[in-house]
Structure 1
Amino acid sequence: MYRILRLGMVSLLFTGIVDVQVLKYTDARNLLMVGKACSSKEYYHRLDTALFKDLPPKIKYLSTFSCGLAIGFMTNSSVIAAEWEVKPDKPSPNLSAIAHKGLDLYIERNGIWEFAGVGKPELNSTRSKSIIVQEMDDTPKKCLLYLPLFSETKTLKIGVEEGSEIVALPYPFEKKVLVYGSSIVHGAEASRAGTTYVAKLSRRAGIDFINLGFSGNARMENSMADCLADIKADAYILDCVPNATAQQISERTAYLVETIRNKHPEAPIIVMQSIAMDIGNFNLKIKSDLRIKDETIRNEVEKLCKRGVKKLYFIEGKDLIGKDHEGTGDGIHPNDLGFERMAAYLEPKLMEILNNNE
């Protein structure tokens, strides 16, 4: 397929360029949704906040973001495109436009999920239409399309060639793991939605990871503990140190862990320290404050273990993003290198815990 663009007296021949208007589009709601905690009236929201009325207002707002959600489908089309709409929102200084309100496609090849392309958003519009990948072969492909990290997705349609097939991907996971945390879990500084450590772990481990990261939050409020406990999962990861104070950690960790444990007596609960934030490399106060918080969460976990809480695990944070101070984008949030290091460090530890729990 080709078209000719005439620019003044010059004609340019572009091969392989596809007109997004000639593709057939399928509503993503007819395909597979992965990464969602539970069903909700608003299809692309992470939580149904009407069920959890006591949550802090900021958590309710951030729950509307489609962070961690992905659409699974199979197609033999040589072209994959998308048409989507997001709610108007302010851009973040910690994000690229693609991470903020774009799409991120992975295709399985030889049992491994590999990056295939992005849906680039229109910068000055809430509506976008984009070719994600083209000029592929016509063999059947398993696809995961990650939704925007820091936007509320309103609609999404996936475009393929006329005459090709697109169907829902059969649910590919055997386990579900819930991750609760701050903007680090949410994915601030990731270049694309699929490069957060939670998304990486999901593809590598073959587990449906539920991303309940809330930028600027995760202070372990009792209402949030009650919410998490109402969500059934095979394991719970608590990555809550960055935004909580030492006092909040001391006062709230026990309620959070025990509330989950009471409703899910066999599910492993994994508590993490914070990453070693690079902003504290020379700032001694920040370094000291983070060390105090990390020691506080360690002490709380040790006290819970002594009180008889079973299947409670602890992961130190000092080696999560490496020690060369190149693992963050702004000294606080991991960049893609930092997220890759986190996933590589956590995967064997998590798999050992999950395998021992079978």
Structure 2
Amino acid sequence: MLNLKITSLFMLCLFLLPANAQLKWFNPMNTDYPVIQNQGWTKEIGNSYARLPQRAKSEVREPLWNLSRNSAGLAIHFYSNANNITIRYKVEGSYSMPHMPNTGVSGIDLYAIDSDGNLKLASGSYKWGDTISFNYKIDAKDKYHNLGFEYRLYLPTYTSVKWLEIGIPENADFEFIPLREELPIVAYGTSITQGACATRPGMAWTNIVSRSLDLPVINLGFSGNGKLEKEVINYINELDAQLYILDCLPNLPGYKEEDVFKKVVDAVKQIRSKHNTPILLTEHAGYSNAGLDTTRLRDYTIPNKASRKAYERLLADGVKDLWYLSNDELNFSMDSWVDYVHPSDLGMQFYADAYNKKIREILKMSKGNLTTTCPVTQRREPGNYEWLKRHREILQMNKANPPKAVVFGNSIMHFWGGEPKGPRSTGKDSWEAYMEPLGFRNFGYGWDRIENVLWRVYHGELDGYKADRILIKIGTNNFGVNSDKEILAGLDFLYTAIRQRQPEATVTVLGILPRRGMEKRVASINKEISKLAKKQGFIYKNVNKDLLLSNGQINESLFGDGLHPNAEGYKIIGKKITE
């Protein structure tokens, strides 16, 4: 009888075991490569969720140093096909503040990205205790494969993460994504930049901007302590960036106009002494009660007036690539604040919208209303190759050995040959005979559409070197989802982006190769592609006539599947390109 009771009690305990007993756990600090995104000084900071290196402790003020331990803006990217994701972690600091809930101060946020580059917010249950935990149930499946989604995990804005683990079921897959290779945007500011008063980390404006532009944004916002101090700018100057943002005016009320003027001028000149990178000066968004309180009105209009004067003086002095974001452009509404100064989620969105518009102008990252004009990543065949891994490899190769010639394309180019190597090389001999002597590097990606190539151009694949030749062949994968008009609009966007980044290169467009059952559509749209290419000053080459039969159908003997050329087909294309 006693044995029966013991057995029953044991079975009951097994039944009541928490779900996380069946999970396997992954710690970002135990990887062989850095995975903490949006963090400067990664190698120096090491195994920590901090924002300034240890040596800064003796060089910056103590309150600022303490705030630099907060994980504002930091993120972790990973792949998983798990149907349940649990994140547990421990923080140092208060879980909430009077004007911010737990979810905003010490909570986390999880976003998924599907294979077409679409963002989706994950929402789940959470609990606070000595260990905080968030649990997400994932029912959706990717339409292309069963290898899951890419995830972006945003860390708390106002507490210091001591440790963190991600748990998934034993039968699921998981992989951390390495640190992004692109140069970041560096934002130096106040509590507003740090994240007050977003109701969750994903709504802090730096994180919204990071998602919208798909760029790393290093958050150097320090609550009450963003004062354009030279000690902080000395550290900022150690970071190579695409853009430096100075958004410190909300911490300068009560300063005399001449003092704010001098701080802005000195800060810009300090950065310019080290970098020619664009600098963006941002005005104070104002106070919610400024219409009823003349002191509040004065407290933000005086710094803004001084900042504008500093901007104009710097331009007059010949400072180049200096930009300005005004109070009018921030365009806060009456309900954009939580209290007198800190933005609500609505205010954070106003901030992000204004920044996105300005940054796209500065970095030449235009975005349209059609899918073909909206740059996105893709992950349609991770069982064949990892798209982001290939992008990372290309950036590393370009930095180590700048190319003289590059070819942009989809799987038709990807599977031809050359470096970096793809999962297969159908036309290796012809690549070596025709393309390799011209120094071509292969920027073809399987299953790419126009918008994916646009993303790659915006994210560094043409930066940091001067190309002699650029070859473009993209668009066939848009046939099933876009009209010819949409395809042509996307190509026009893409051609402009390429010319902006490589103004001296000779650019050749091949148009869309013939494909089984779509020969007439291909011929029709290629006539328009030819006009677009010539409008941009590009060379258009017609390789299709040598791949067709006399009746206008594709020559099946030159294709493996009615779309991808075989070795003989690649040989013909190589001859036409180089003749």
TM-score, length of structure 1 as denominator length: 0.88
Task: Give 1:120's match in structure 2, choosing from 95, 110, 126.
Answer: 126
Rounded to whole Å, the distance in 1 between the matches of 2:148 and 2:179 is 16
Is the aligned partner of 1:149 residue 2:152? no
Task: Give 1:331's match in structure 2, choosing from 340, 343, 360.
Answer: 340
Offset from partner CA, 1:104-152 (integer Å, 9 cap, x none): 1011133132211257341xx3312331334444542100111111000
Is the aligned partner of 1:256 residue 2:260? no
Q: Does the Cα contact within 8 Å between 1:276 and 1:318 map onto a contact in 2?
A: no
2:79 match: secondary structure:
strand
Corresponding residue for 1:38? 41
Distance 1:61-1:141 versus aligned 2 partners, 3 A rule: same
Rounded to whole Å, the distance in 1 between the matches of 2:47 and 2:309 is 40
Rounded to whole Å, the distance in 2 between the matches of 1:301 and 1:120 is 46
Is the aligned partner of 1:26 residue 2:26? yes
Is the aligned partner of 1:217 residue 2:228? no
Q: Does the Cα contact within 8 Å between 2:37 and 2:180 map onto a contact in 1?
A: no
Q: Does the Cα contact within 8 Å between 2:95 and 2:159 map onto a contact in 1?
A: no
Task: Give 2:278's match in structure 1, choosing from 268, 273, 289.
Answer: 268
- Structure 2 gap segments, 5+ residues each: 1-17, 366-499, 502-579
| Root mean square deviation, CA, Å | 2.1
2:364 match: secondary structure:
helix
Report deviation, 1:226. 1.3
Distance 1:284-1:133 versus aligned 2 partners, 3 A rule: farther
1:206 partner letter: D
2:22 partner letter: V
Rounded to whole Å, the distance in 2 between the matches of 1:206 and 1:42 is 25
Higher relative contact order (CA 8 A, sep 6+): 1
Rounded to whole Å, the distance in 2 between the matches of 1:126 and 1:174 is 37
- Structure 1 gap segments, 5+ residues each: 1-17
Report deviation, 1:280. 1.2
Q: Does the Cα contact within 8 Å between 1:321 and 1:327 map onto a contact in 2?
A: no
Is the aligned partner of 1:101 residue 2:111? no
Rounded to whole Å, the distance in 1 between the matches of 2:221 and 2:133 is 28
Q: Does the Cα contact within 8 Å between 1:75 and 1:164 map onto a contact in 2?
A: yes
2:291 partner letter: N
Is the aligned partner of 1:159 residue 2:167? yes
TM-score, length of structure 2 as denominator length: 0.56
Corresponding residue for 2:492? none
2:305 partner letter: E
Corresponding residue for 2:97? 92
Runs of 4+ in 1 over 4 A off after TM superposition: 170-173
Higher deviation after alignment, 29-38 or 227-236: 29-38
- How many residue pairs were aligned? 338
Corresponding residue for 1:311? 321
1:301 match: secondary structure:
helix
Rounded to whole Å, the distance in 1 between the matches of 2:79 and 2:218 is 22
Task: Give 1:230's match in structure 2, choosing from 235, 238, 262.
Answer: 238
Corresponding residue for 1:340? 349
1:314 partner letter: Y
Report deviation, 1:279. 2.5
Is the aligned partner of 1:174 residue 2:182? yes
Report deviation, 1:80. 0.8
Rounded to whole Å, the distance in 2 between the matches of 1:355 and 1:319 is 19
Rounded to whole Å, the distance in 2 between the matches of 1:107 and 1:236 is 28
Rounded to whole Å, the distance in 2 between the matches of 1:286 and 1:51 is 34
Rounded to whole Å, the distance in 1 between the matches of 2:118 and 2:181 is 14
Report deviation, 1:252. 1.6
Offset from partner CA, 1:285-325 (integer Å, 9 cap, x none): 101221111001111111111111111111102341433x0
2:250 match: secondary structure:
coil
Q: Does the Cα contact within 8 Å between 2:113 and 2:120 map onto a contact in 1?
A: yes
- Normalized per residue, the structure richer in helix is 2
Report deviation, 1:345. 2.0
Q: Does the Cα contact within 8 Å between 1:102 and 1:119 map onto a contact in 2?
A: no
Higher deviation after alignment, 63-72 or 173-182: 173-182
2:266 partner letter: Y
Higher deviation after alignment, 45-54 or 180-189: 45-54
Report deviation, 1:84. 0.5
